[in-house]
Structure 1
Amino acid sequence: MEADALPEEKFSDPVWTAKGERRASVPLTALETLWFNTGTLCNLACINCYIESSPTNDALVYISRDHVTRYLDEIAEKAIATKEIGYTGGEPFMNPEFVAILTDTLERGFEALVLSNAMKPMRRREAALLDLRERFGDKLTIRVSLDHYTKAAHEAERGARSWEPGTEGLKWLSNNGFSIAVAGRMLPNETMDQARDGYATLFAELGIGIDASDPMRLVLFPEMDEAKDIAEITTECWGILNQNPADIMCATSRMVVHRKGEAEPRVAACTLIPYDGGFDMGSTLEEASQDVSLNHPHCARFCVLGGASCSA
Structure 2
Amino acid sequence: MPDTAWPAPFTDPDVTAKGETRASVAFKGLKTLWFNTGTLCNIECVNCYIESSPKNDRLVYLTPQDAAPYLDEIDAMGAGPVEIGFTGGEPYLNPHMNTLAAMALERGHEALVLTNAMRPMMRPGVQDGLADLQRRFGPRLTLRVSLDHYTPALHDAERGAGAFDETLKGLAWLVQNGVRLSVAGRKAMAESEAEARAGFAALFARLGADIPADDPGRLVLFPEMDPEGAPPEITTACWGILKLDPATIMCASSRMVVRRKGADRASVISCTLLPYDEAFELGQTLGDSLAPVKLKHKFCAQFCVLGGASCSA
> If the length of structure 2 is used for normalisation, what is the TM-score?
0.96
Cα distance in structure 1, aligned partners of 2:226 and 2:260: 26
Return the offset for 1:64. 1.1
- Partner of residue 122, structure 1: 121
Alignment of 1:76-155 (within 5 A): 76-124=75-123, 125-155=126-156
Return the offset for 1:301. 0.5
- Partner of residue 274, structure 1: 275
Say if 1:24 and 1:293, in contact at 8 Å, map to a contact too.
yes
CA RMSD of aligned residues (A): 1.3
State the one-letter code of the partner of 1:52: E
- Partner of residue 29, structure 1: 28
- Partner of residue 177, structure 2: 176
Return the offset for 1:178. 1.1
How many residue pairs match? The answer is: 310
Say if 1:188 and 1:222, in contact at 8 Å, map to a contact too.
no
CA pair 189-205 structure 1, distance change in 2 beyond 3 A? closer
- Partner of residue 46, structure 1: 45
Cα distance in structure 2, aligned partners of 1:213 and 1:13: 40
Say if 2:73 and 2:286, in contact at 8 Å, map to a contact too.
yes
Q: Give secondary structure in 2 for the equivalent of 1:284.
A: coil
> If the length of structure 1 is used for normalisation, what is the TM-score?
0.96
Deviations 1:79-117 (A, max 9, x none): 234511000000111111111111111111110000001
Q: Give secondary structure in 2 for the equivalent of 1:43.
A: coil
Q: Give secondary structure in 1 for the equivalent of 2:75.
A: helix
Q: Give secondary structure in 2 for the equivalent of 1:4.
A: coil
Say if 1:3 and 1:20, in contact at 8 Å, map to a contact too.
no
Alignment of 1:159-170 (within 5 A): 159-170=160-171
Deviations 1:105-149 (A, max 9, x none): 111111000000111111111111111111100010000000101
User: Is 1:287 the equivalent of 2:288?
Assistant: yes
- Identity level (%): 57
Cα distance in structure 2, aligned partners of 1:208 and 1:59: 35
Q: Give secondary structure in 2 for the equivalent of 1:36.
A: strand
Cα distance in structure 2, aligned partners of 1:112 and 1:197: 27
Return the offset for 1:75. 1.1
- Partner of residue 200, structure 1: 201
Cα distance in structure 2, aligned partners of 1:68 and 1:173: 26
Return the offset for 1:206. 2.2
Say if 2:149 and 2:190, in contact at 8 Å, map to a contact too.
no
- Partner of residue 17, structure 1: 16
Q: Give secondary structure in 2 for the equivalent of 1:219.
A: strand
CA pair 6-187 structure 1, distance change in 2 beyond 3 A? closer
State the one-letter code of the partner of 2:272: T
- Partner of residue 67, structure 1: 66
Deviates more, 1:19-28 or 1:201-210: 201-210
Q: Give secondary structure in 1 for the equivalent of 2:131.
A: helix
Return the offset for 1:246. 0.5
State the one-letter code of the partner of 2:231: I
Say if 1:33 and 1:82, in contact at 8 Å, map to a contact too.
no
Return the offset for 1:176. 1.6
State the one-letter code of the partner of 1:147: D
- Partner of residue 264, structure 2: 263
Say if 1:112 and 1:140, in contact at 8 Å, map to a contact too.
yes
Cα distance in structure 2, aligned partners of 1:238 and 1:192: 25
Unaligned regions of 5+ residues in structure 2, if any?
none
Say if 2:38 and 2:88, in contact at 8 Å, map to a contact too.
yes
Deviates more, 1:204-213 or 1:254-263: 204-213
State the one-letter code of the partner of 1:249: M
Return the offset for 1:5. 5.1
